[in-house]
Structure 1
Amino acid sequence: MSVLHVVFKVDGAEYVLPASEVLQMESFTGATPVPGAPAHVAGLVQVRGRVIPVVDARTRFGLPPVERSLDSRVVVGRLGERTVGLLVDSAREVLKLDPGQFKPPPPLVMEGAQGFVKAVAQVGPRLVMLIDFPRVIGEETSDGDGKR
């Protein structure tokens, strides 16, 4: 059974998240910095009357910053009770992917991506990477109890 996935780009690479985890996509017009926040937190933005934290995917993935453009998007996702935005270079596509298309990432990717990439799928000539949203936005539990 195919599942809809939202496709977004960071530094030319294509990543996907199940559409069920994405609430909406918003243009990025800037964020209010939060004093003392980790470097990968771009700040706070207001989305439909709610204030949410935004994680900069480039910083989180260890990539150099770029000038934000009209293509920059905040992919707003839900994590349990929390709503968090992920700032990406662009996001404007939805793909239907079969769970069977996803394969474990190669070991080199696993090491380099710090566990941010859960799986990869071949879509014609393209490779898309399924991200571990909780880990990317810094919500993984460190005490190993497996809670998500």
Structure 2
Amino acid sequence: MTQLLLIASIAGCRVALPAAAVESVVELDALIPVPRSPSHVAGLSALRSRVLTVIDTMRSLGLGETDCSDGIREAAVVEIDGHHYALIVDSVEDVVDALSEPTPVRAAMGEGWERASLGMVETDDGPLLLVDIAALVAGAPDEQRAA
């Protein structure tokens, strides 16, 4: 069975997201701040009468903060446990087939990437890191305790 992958860029790195988990790719133009939320929550946005919790994937991975000052940001919309999230990404490239099952990464990637990694998958575009969407939404473990 072939798994479809959405190729996106986060913090300048090309990664793969399980395409079956992505409802749509959108451009967000307005973010409403959420006081006292974990720092990886960039804010709230609306899409077709639904409220989306917007996740700053860079901050979730501990790689700094996405600059949202220019207004429009590209995001992948996902649903987890009945809640809708928009994952801010640098860009979205394509949907491709996975040519292999995920295999363990045999290199140090940094704490955030290691927490969110499901392994490396082969594609026609070369190997890509398969990212765990739920780990991006959850953020770093220390933020989970503080929330």
Task: Please confirm whether the aligned pair reaches a TM-score higher than 0.5, indicating the same fold.
Answer: yes
Letter in 2 for 1:38: P
For the 8 Å contact 1:6–1:91, the answer to whether it is kept is yes
Q: Secondary structure at the match of 2:58?
A: helix
> TM-score normalised to the size of structure 1?
0.81
**Structure 2: runs of 5 or more not aligned:** 142-147
Residues 87-102 of structure 1: pairs in structure 2 closer than 5 A? 87-100=88-101, 102=102
Q: Which has the larger displacement, 85-94 or 121-130?
A: 121-130
Residue 140 of structure 1: how far off its partner (Å): 9.8
Residue 139 of structure 1: how far off its partner (Å): 7.6
Q: Quick one: structure 1 residues 97 and 118, their matched pair in 2 at CA, closer, same or farther if it must change by over 3 Å?
A: same
Partner Cα separation in structure 1 for residue 65 and residue 110 of structure 2: 23
Q: Quick one: structure 1 residues 43 and 89, their matched pair in 2 at CA, closer, same or farther if it must change by over 3 Å?
A: same
Q: Quick one: structure 1 residues 74 and 53, their matched pair in 2 at CA, closer, same or farther if it must change by over 3 Å?
A: same
Letter in 2 for 1:113: W
Partner Cα separation in structure 1 for residue 110 and residue 65 of structure 2: 23
Partner Cα separation in structure 2 for residue 5 and residue 84 of structure 1: 18
RMSD between aligned residues = 2.6
Q: Which residue of 2 aligns with 1:144?
A: none
Seq. identity, %: 24
Partner Cα separation in structure 1 for residue 10 and residue 18 of structure 2: 17
Q: Which residue of 2 aligns with 1:56?
A: 56
For the 8 Å contact 2:9–2:15, the answer to whether it is kept is yes
Equivalenced residues, count: 140
The one-character-per-residue Cα deviations of 1:93-144 (angstroms, maximum 9, x if unpaired) are 11111343x2112252374524111111243564311111111101899xxx
**Structure 1: runs of 5 or more not aligned:** 142-148
For the 8 Å contact 1:110–1:117, the answer to whether it is kept is no
Q: Which has the larger displacement, 65-74 or 21-30?
A: 65-74
Letter in 1 for 2:123: V
The one-character-per-residue Cα deviations of 1:70-99 (angstroms, maximum 9, x if unpaired) are 983111011131211111111131111134
> TM-score normalised to the size of structure 2?
0.81
